[in-house]
């Protein structure tokens, strides 16, 4: 039979049968056994290693009886520093009543003092009378009100960008914006001192995260060069991997400004996009309060996405992202905190619009804020034992112990005593709260 | 409760998607050649050599299929979202790429889309008096986190009230419902724990589960056998590679599922959880205030003890006409969340007027304001729901979900009918919500009605008559089990023969 195949001739049935008769007996027997073996293998069950260790139902019962889970939550000791909150009665504005005592408020982020402003409150009242409180639906399902559209319009005009999009919670803003653009396989270069919301956004996006030292453009350039070398090894993958630099305008954890002009140069040199998080710097930096782009005189179109929350300077609730329509429009279908959550209550949107009006009409309040920040900064420098962490004109400052004792708990206790002492003298301060186990780079106690 | 459509419907649906896709490719090709104008926003000139921000195929569905019927979503309104509202009239000159407001409003459109179950979205001055006072007193924002300077006395009042309402030891409130899930599940479970989550859970639950780092396994929707098998296997075999025991097992379910309208099988899940020593996390976003004889949610609906559920979570957006979420349960749980929740440490607390709105509406439902208005609303909602569902069944539509749930999904199946349905209903002055892929499976697009206690019988009848007409016009009455409207005719036990 092998000879017949070798000849490559067409099979004729008669020739086949002839060959069959002429073949030696042992050959036929061998072939027959092989065919039978193949048939048996085809029809027998596959041999799984796990079959051996499958448990009988009785064994499973025993295991279920024995298994003891951990408690749902570990017990919290009664004197945990964060358990007993200070209770604020009345409006949390510049004069605040904490635990029954009236203090000057140095602990809230009410930078422009708009929380107690009559005009803002009246605008909110008018909106309350017209729309009620809640919106009863997400933006896609009749939750879009004309105040939302107006606020988006006003914010875009104020920041001189094409479009803006509003979220109903400040934390959710950046935490939904990042995963909308950066997916698994993309690379994000982020500063070490990034705030927790950014960290959660990065975790949700499942991208590769590369941390660079705080405000150190040399370190960032080093990382970018390394990435370039990686890219040259695999150019096909490189042309679909998106790259982002994520920085904050004014860092919450350290109170200093990012070096934006150098970052823009790096952007064009290495072709990465920049996302800027301006929660603290919106309404604070720049001549008209437009944030760190105005402060440095940079064209706002150079930044791909600016995200900020309205809970600090605008004394409302919520957040927004602004930028070019090309970038922002994508979030309307893929920003999770936008599509799957109820929209911002209209009274808060109306309050934000009025606050924007006030900001536009009085551009000198930013100068006043800067002066005051400078005064406080200078005055605090003279306190022995505490160092001031933060830039000269940053409205959020941290006071850190000059010589930490090495034990975080002891330091926190000492800080708490300082805070209590200040409260007794009618000054409201607060220890900065961090989730110790979850932060990537835990700042020292302050 | 989940009736299957006839086979020809499924075939036609897939066929329509096929045709849509072919046309999509054709249009993309024409746009690439320059034969057709491209209306999409484009990247900046200076950044044209950057890695593209969006891949073409990711947005294929958006560009070609969603864009055709885009005018049915994001419809802006300009009044309170009560039982009737005013829509801003919006036209498009270029087939939905851009919209233009004509400046006119369409008045008194019947609202079947907003989550206004108990009708608390109202602007009556008397009702909102306390909210206006609080707004005047406290201002609008809080500007601080819960643990720092943002804990107002209003929050404590609200938390005590919520704990009383749900009959549990303690509760904690947060500023946003979505964020409540995504920020608290990671603090409850972590690596080495197992999460068993229902197939159709909401995005916030899925996001919270992913952020926690625990292993996630999915069981079929409301299917107790699937859940039991997962539980048995989990405890018997332990963690996947190391075979160590799991630290804890958390079951994530919702009270009412927002796209299906089905109610969770709570008694069976509690029985399973007790047997296998797992923990139960119940998300009552839609069901709190909407089911149960006094509006206390699914726990009361099934007559169970709230202590059986380990973590009760819910939102205030739907039934209470405000915003925000809560988590309630034992005191240890709430104490732990006060110290370790991401929201308490990093996110702003709820603003005072919203907290006051929840306080006043919850007091109304509990009857603490001295009237029976709250109870009346709950009963009215129940009646409206049952009437609406019964009439839809009689007409012959396929409707999913439990008979008592105020979320009523009506199946449309074919993508062409999505647009037609929503637009025709708008011409009849009724605002509906239609949902398609990706929120639902691709072949099961639906229209979703949210019944409210504020809807009167006349409004419901208007809607039902319009549905009847439209159902005949668009051929939507797929059900093969339509119940007659005269059930007494089937109950004849004695037949009188004519002599």
Residue B191 CA to residue B336 CA, distance in Å, equals: 18
- Taking CA atoms, A95 is separated from A98, A213, B132, B335, B348, in Å, by 10, 38, 22, 29, 19
Mean predicted confidence (pLDDT) in B265-287: 91
For residue A167, the cross-strand partners are A319
**Average pLDDT, rounded, for chain B:** 87
- Which segment, A219-223, A237-241, B126-130, is predicted with the most confidence on average? A219-223
CB-CB under 8 Å, B44 with A326: yes
Q: What is the DSSP letter of A52?
A: G
Of B85, B211, B323, the CB nearest to A200: B211
Is residue A365 a contact partner of residue A231, using CB atoms and an 8 Å limit?
A: no
- Which tops the pLDDT comparison, A193 or B206? B206
Q: Residue A283, CB half-sphere, CA atoms under 13 Å: how many? A: 26
Is residue B129 a contact partner of residue B116, using CB atoms and an 8 Å limit?
A: no
Residue in A134, A139, A186 to test binding to B, most B beta-carbons within 10 Å? A134
CB-CB under 8 Å, B347 with A170: yes
- Which segment, A99-103, A416-420, B275-279, is predicted with the most confidence on average? B275-279
pLDDT class of B46 with cuts at 50, 70, 90: confident
* Closest residue on chain A to B147 (Cα): A85
- CA of B176 to nearest chain A CA: how many angstroms apart? 7
pLDDT class of A49 with cuts at 50, 70, 90: low
* Closest residue on chain B to A439 (Cα): B342
Q: What is the full DSSP assignment across B58-110?
A: TTHHIIIIIGGGGGGSS-EE-S--SSEEEEEEEE-SSTTSS-EEEEEEEEEEE
CB-CB under 8 Å, A108 with B142: yes
pLDDT class of A384 with cuts at 50, 70, 90: confident
pLDDT at A50: 55
Which residues of chain A neighbour B335 with C-beta distances below 8 Å? Answer: 76, 83
Count other C-beta atoms under 10 Å from residue A74's C-beta: 9
* Structure tokens, B135: 């707004």
Which residues of chain A neighbour B52 with C-beta distances below 8 Å? Answer: 242
* Closest residue on chain A to B84 (Cα): A142
Total beta-carbon pairs less than 8 A apart between chain A and chain B: 346
Q: Is the pLDDT of residue A376 over 60?
A: yes
Of B66, B81, B179, the CB nearest to A172: B179
Count other C-beta atoms under 10 Å from residue B371's C-beta: 11
Which residues of chain B neighbour A316 with C-beta distances below 8 Å? Answer: 140-141
Which residues of chain B neighbour A134 with C-beta distances below 8 Å? Answer: 120-121, 316-317, 320-323, 354, 357
Residue in A73, A234, A396, A434 to test binding to B, most B beta-carbons within 10 Å? A73
CB-CB under 8 Å, A140 with B178: no
- CA of B13 to nearest chain A CA: how many angstroms apart? 24
pLDDT at A4: 47
Which residues of chain A neighbour B436 with C-beta distances below 8 Å? Answer: none
- Which of A202-206, B456-460, B486-490 has the lowest average pLDDT? B486-490
pLDDT class of B484 with cuts at 50, 70, 90: low
Of B141, B342, B345, the CB nearest to A317: B141
Residue A258 CA to residue A175 CA, distance in Å, equals: 20
Mean predicted confidence (pLDDT) in B425-441: 88
* Closest residue on chain A to B183 (Cα): A200
Q: Is the pLDDT of residue A308 over 60?
A: yes
* Closest residue on chain B to A132 (Cα): B123
Residue with tokens 């639950």: B205
CB-CB under 8 Å, A196 with B176: no
- CA of A195 to nearest chain B CA: how many angstroms apart? 9
Of A324, A340, A433, the CB nearest to B203: A340
Residue in B123, B149, B432, B452 to test binding to A, most A beta-carbons within 10 Å? B149
Q: Is the pLDDT of residue B498 over 60?
A: no
CB-CB under 8 Å, A134 with B357: yes
* Closest residue on chain B to A125 (Cα): B132
CB-CB under 8 Å, B149 with A86: yes
Q: Is the pLDDT of residue A323 over 80?
A: yes
Query: What number is the ipTM of this complex?
Result: 0.90
Of B73, B140, B246, the CB nearest to A121: B140
- CA of A298 to nearest chain B CA: how many angstroms apart? 15
Q: What is the pLDDT of residues A85-119, one digit of tens each?
A: 788 887 877 888 888 888 888 878 888 888 888 89
Residue in A60, A132, A352 to test binding to B, most B beta-carbons within 10 Å? A132
- Which of A272-276, A303-307, A387-391 has the lowest average pLDDT? A387-391
| CA-wise closest residue to A158 among A312, A360, A314 | A360
pLDDT class of B466 with cuts at 50, 70, 90: very high
Q: Is the pLDDT of residue B323 over 60?
A: yes
Which residues of chain B neighbour A108 with C-beta distances below 8 Å? Answer: 142-144, 148-150
Which residues of chain A neighbour B141 with C-beta distances below 8 Å? Answer: 110, 115, 311, 314-317, 348, 351
CB-CB under 8 Å, B211 with A326: no
* Structure tokens, B302: 């099934």
Which residues of chain B neighbour A252 with C-beta distances below 8 Å? Answer: none
CB-CB under 8 Å, B50 with A91: no
Mean predicted confidence (pLDDT) in B174-182: 90
Quote the pTM value. 0.87
CB-CB under 8 Å, B203 with A243: no
Q: Is the pLDDT of residue A35 over 90?
A: yes
Mean predicted confidence (pLDDT) in B453-467: 92
CB-CB under 8 Å, A141 with B139: no
Phi-psi region for residue A185, left (φ > 0), alpha (ψ -120 to 50) or beta?
A: left
Residue A143 CA to residue A124 CA, distance in Å, equals: 18
Mean predicted confidence (pLDDT) in A130-138: 88
Q: Is the pLDDT of residue B271 over 90?
A: yes
Angle between helices A260-270 and A217-233 (to 10 degrees): 10
* Closest residue on chain A to B111 (Cα): A142
* Closest residue on chain B to A315 (Cα): B141
| CA-wise closest residue to B111 among B73, B67, B80 | B80
């Amino acid at each position: 039979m092998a000879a017949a195949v070798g000849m490559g001739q067409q099979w004729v049935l008669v020739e086949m049968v002839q060959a069959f008769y002429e073949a030696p007996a042992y050959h036929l027997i061998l072939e027959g056994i092989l065919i039978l073996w193949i048939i048996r293998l085809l029809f027998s069950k596959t041999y799984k290693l796990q079959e051996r260790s499958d448990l009988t139902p009785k064994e499973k019962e025993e295991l279920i009886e024995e298994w003891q889970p951990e408690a749902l939550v570990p017990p919290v000791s009664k004197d945990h520093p964060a358990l007993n909150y200070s209770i604020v009665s009345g409006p949390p504005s510049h004069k605040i009543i904490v635990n029954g005592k009236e203090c000057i408020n140095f602990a809230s982020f009410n930078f422009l003092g708009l929380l107690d402003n009559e005009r803002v409150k009246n605008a909110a009242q008018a909106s309350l009378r017209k729309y009620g409180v809640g919106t009863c639906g997400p933006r896609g399902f009749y939750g879009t009100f004309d105040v939302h559209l107006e606020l988006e319009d006003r914010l875009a005009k104020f920041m001189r960008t094409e479009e803006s999009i509003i979220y109903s919670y400040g934390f959710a803003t950046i935490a939904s914006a990042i995963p909308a653009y950066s997916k698994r396989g993309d690379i994000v270069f982020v500063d070490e001192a990034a705030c927790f919301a950014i960290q959660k956004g990065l975790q949700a996006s499942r991208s590769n995260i590369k941390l660079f030292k705080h405000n150190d453009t040399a370190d960032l350039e080093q990382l970018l060069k390394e990435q370039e070398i990686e890219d040259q090894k695999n150019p096909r993958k490189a042309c679909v991997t998106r790259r982002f630099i994520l920085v904050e305008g004014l860092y919450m954890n350290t109170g200093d400004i990012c070096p934006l002009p150098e970052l823009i140069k790096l952007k064009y040199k290495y072709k990465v996009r920049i996302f800027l998080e301006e929660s603290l710097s919106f309404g604070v930096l720049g001549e008209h309060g437009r944030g760190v782009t105005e402060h440095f005189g940079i064209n706002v179109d150079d930044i791909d996405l600016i995200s900020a929350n309205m809970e600090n300077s605008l004394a409302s609730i919520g957040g927004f992202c602004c930028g070019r329509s090309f970038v922002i429009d994508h979030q309307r279908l893929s920003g999770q905190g936008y599509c799957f959550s109820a929209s911002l209550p209209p009274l808060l949107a109306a309050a934000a619009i009025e606050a924007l009006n006030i900001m536009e009409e009085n551009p000198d309040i930013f100068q006043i804020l800067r002066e005051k920040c400078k005064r406080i900064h200078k005055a605090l420098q003279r306190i022995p034992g505490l160092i001031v962490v933060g830039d000269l004109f940053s409205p959020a400052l941290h006071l850190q112990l000059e010589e930490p004792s090495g034990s975080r708990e002891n330091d926190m206790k000492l800080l708490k005593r300082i805070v209590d002492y200040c409260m007794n003298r009618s000054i409201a301060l607060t220890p900065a709260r961090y989730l110790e186990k979850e932060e990537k780079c835990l700042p020292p106690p302050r | 409760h989940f009736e299957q459509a006839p086979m020809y419907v499924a075939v036609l649906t897939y066929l329509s998607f096929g045709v849509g896709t072919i046309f999509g490719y054709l249009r993309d090709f024409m746009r690439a050649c320059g034969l057709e104008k491209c209306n999409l926003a484009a990247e900046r000139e200076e950044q044209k050599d950057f890695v593209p921000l969006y891949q073409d195929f990711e947005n294929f569905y958006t560009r070609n299929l969603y864009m055709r019927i885009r005018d049915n979503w994001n419809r802006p309104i300009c009044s309170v979202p009560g039982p009737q509202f005013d829509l801003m009239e919006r036209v498009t000159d270029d087939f939905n790429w851009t919209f233009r407001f004509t400046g006119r409003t369409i008045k008194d459109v019947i609202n079947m889309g907003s989550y206004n179950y108990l009708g608390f979205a109202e602007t009556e001055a008397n009702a909102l008096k306390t909210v206006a006072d609080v707004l005047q007193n406290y201002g609008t924002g809080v500007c601080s986190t819960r643990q720092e300077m943002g804990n107002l006395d209003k929050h404590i009042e609200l938390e005590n009230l919520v704990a009383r309402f749900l009959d549990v030891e303690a509760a904690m409130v947060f500023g946003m419902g979505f964020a409540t899930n995504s920020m608290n599940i990671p603090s409850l479970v972590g690596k080495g724990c197992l999460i068993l989550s229902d197939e159709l859970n909401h995005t916030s639950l899925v996001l919270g589960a992913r952020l926690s780092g625990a292993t996630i396994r999915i069981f079929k929707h409301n299917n107790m056998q699937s859940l039991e098998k997962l539980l048995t296997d989990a405890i018997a075999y332990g963690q996947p590679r190391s075979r160590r025991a799991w630290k804890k097992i958390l079951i994530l379910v919702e009270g009412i599922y927002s796209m299906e309208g089905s109610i969770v099988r709570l008694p069976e899940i509690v029985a399973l959880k007790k047997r296998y020593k797992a923990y139960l996390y119940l998300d009552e976003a839609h069901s709190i205030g909407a089911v149960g004889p006094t509006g206390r949610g699914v726990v009361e609906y099934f007559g169970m003890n709230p202590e059986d559920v380990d973590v009760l979570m819910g939102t205030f957006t739907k039934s209470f006409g405000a915003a925000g979420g809560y988590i309630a349960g034992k005191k240890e749980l709430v104490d732990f969340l006060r110290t370790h929740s991401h929201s308490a440490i990093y996110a702003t607390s709820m603003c005072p007027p919203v907290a006051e709105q929840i306080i006043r509406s919850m007091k109304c439902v509990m009857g603490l304001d001295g009237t029976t208005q709250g109870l009346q609303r709950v009963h009215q909602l129940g009646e409206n729901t049952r009437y609406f569902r019964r009439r839809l069944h009689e007409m012959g539509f396929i409707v999913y979900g439990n008979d008592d749930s105020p979320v009523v999904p009506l199946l449309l199946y074919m993508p062409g009918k999505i647009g037609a349905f929503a637009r025709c209903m708008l011409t009849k002055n009724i605002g509906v919500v239609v949902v398609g892929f990706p929120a639902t499976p691709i072949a099961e697009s639906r229209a979703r009605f949210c019944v409210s206690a504020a809807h009167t019988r006349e409004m419901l009848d208007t809607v039902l008559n319009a549905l009847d007409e439209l159902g005949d016009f668009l051929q939507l009455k797929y059900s093969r089990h339509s119940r007659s409207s005269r059930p007494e005719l089937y109950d004849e036990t004695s037949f009188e023969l004519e002599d």
